[in-house]
């Protein structure tokens, strides 16, 4: 598999990583679904092990994924190779209910708890999990620097949801930015990727398959289970709109084996992207994802996508 350097951290990662939110399975915060349906422990362990066997070295998780279950599974599945794997985790979202915490006692405790669940002494990447701009104070950034100096964190960054958050994270010295970047959702990335590349900041591209829509297996009639976080995001109207947009991408099958492969290759085509982290709940999904490694889309395909979704 192709490898890239995570910004100026010196950390080498495979261009295709593994997003480990889904293996945390169904979970709820304050009665609201915050996980994924259809995950089993045995299949999840098999998926992580299959990723390693396929050459994947980068694994992205968070304490809130399955209320710690994802971290436990990643740590267990990689127990014999953790000295070679690159693990990123996040903190800031409450495990117990709605809300976020970015104060020093909470983050120090959350980091130690994550290290315990992962069964490691340090993580290669420690990310703040979606802090709003007003929470990203100079004091918070100084704390992240202290955590790195402690040796428990080798690099730090921010998982962002908006361009304003991205700009503030870059201003505060983040070494890594994680953001949504896929064919259907490009707005934030268009604003942040050039800045990150200029500052040599590592980019982890998340949701490359648009929460599964870019696999081509969903349509306007799709309704997600109550236990799936997508249930609250894709009502009937949004499902119809998204399905219509996805149908415009049939031309990509002329140069890729599947729509999902083309979607991953699109994300990898941007020179600022260090790694892309498609989620996988099974070994078969992992096998399909890794085929996109080292294969950017053609310029013609990229131009056509730009024409369809530039706005």
Q: What is the pLDDT of residue 310?
A: 72
Per-residue pLDDT at 297 exceeds 90: yes
| Confidence band, pLDDT 50/70/90 cuts, at residue 300 | very high
Domain that residue 45 falls in: 3-309
Residue 311: pLDDT above 70? no
CATH number of the CATH domain containing 301: 3.20.20.100
DSSP secondary structure string for all residues of 206-234: E-TTGGGGGGT---TT----TTSGGGGT-
The answer to whether the CB of 47 falls within 8 A of the CB of 284 is: no
Q: How many structural domains comprise the chain? A: 1
pLDDT digits (tens, 9 = 90+) for 113-128: 999 999 999 999 999 9
Contact 192, 177 (CB under 8 A): yes
Q: What is the 3-state secondary structure (H, E, C) of 114-147?
A: HHHHHCCCCECEEEEECCCHHHCCHHHHHHHHHH
Give pLDDT tens digits for 8-34.
999 999 999 999 999 998 888 888 888
- Mean pLDDT across 158-175: 98
Measured between alpha carbons, how far is 225 from 35 in angstroms, rounded to an integer? 11
């Amino acid at each position: 598999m192709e490898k890239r350097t995570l910004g100026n951290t010196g950390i080498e990662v495979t261009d295709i990583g593994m997003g480990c939110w889904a293996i945390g399975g169904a979970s709820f915060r304050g009665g609201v679904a915050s996980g994924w349906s259809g995950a089993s422990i045995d299949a999840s362990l098999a998926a992580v092990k299959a990723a390693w066997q396929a050459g994947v070295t980068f694994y992205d998780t968070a304490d809130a994924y399955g209320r710690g279950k994802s971290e436990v599974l990643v740590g267990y599945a990689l127990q014999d190779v953790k000295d070679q794997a690159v693990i990123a985790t996040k903190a800031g979202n409450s495990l117990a209910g709605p809300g976020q915490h970015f104060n020093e006692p909470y983050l120090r405790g959350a980091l130690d708890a994550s290290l315990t669940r992962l069964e490691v002494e340090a993580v290669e990447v420690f990310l703040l999990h979606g802090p709003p701009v007003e929470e990203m104070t100079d004091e918070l950034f100084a704390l992240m620097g202290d955590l790195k100096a402690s040796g428990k964190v080798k690099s730090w960054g921010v998982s962002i949801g908006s361009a304003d958050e991205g700009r503030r994270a870059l201003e505060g010295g983040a070494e890594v930015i994680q953001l949504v970047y896929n064919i259907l959702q490009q707005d934030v990335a268009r604003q942040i990727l050039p800045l990150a590349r200029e500052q040599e900041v590592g980019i982890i591209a998340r949701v490359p398959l648009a929460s599964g829509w870019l696999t081509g297996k969903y349509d306007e009639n799709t309704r997600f289970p109550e236990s799936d976080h997508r249930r609250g995001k894709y009502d009937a109207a949004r499902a119809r709109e998204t399905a219509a947009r996805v149908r415009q991408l049939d031309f990509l099958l002329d140069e890729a084996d599947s729509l999902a492969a083309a979607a991953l290759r699109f994300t990898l085509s941007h020179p600022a992207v260090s790694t892309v982290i498609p989620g996988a709940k099974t070994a078969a999904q992992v096998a399909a994802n890794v085929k996109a490694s080292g294969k950017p889309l053609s310029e013609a395909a990229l131009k056509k996508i730009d024409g369809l979704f530039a706005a």
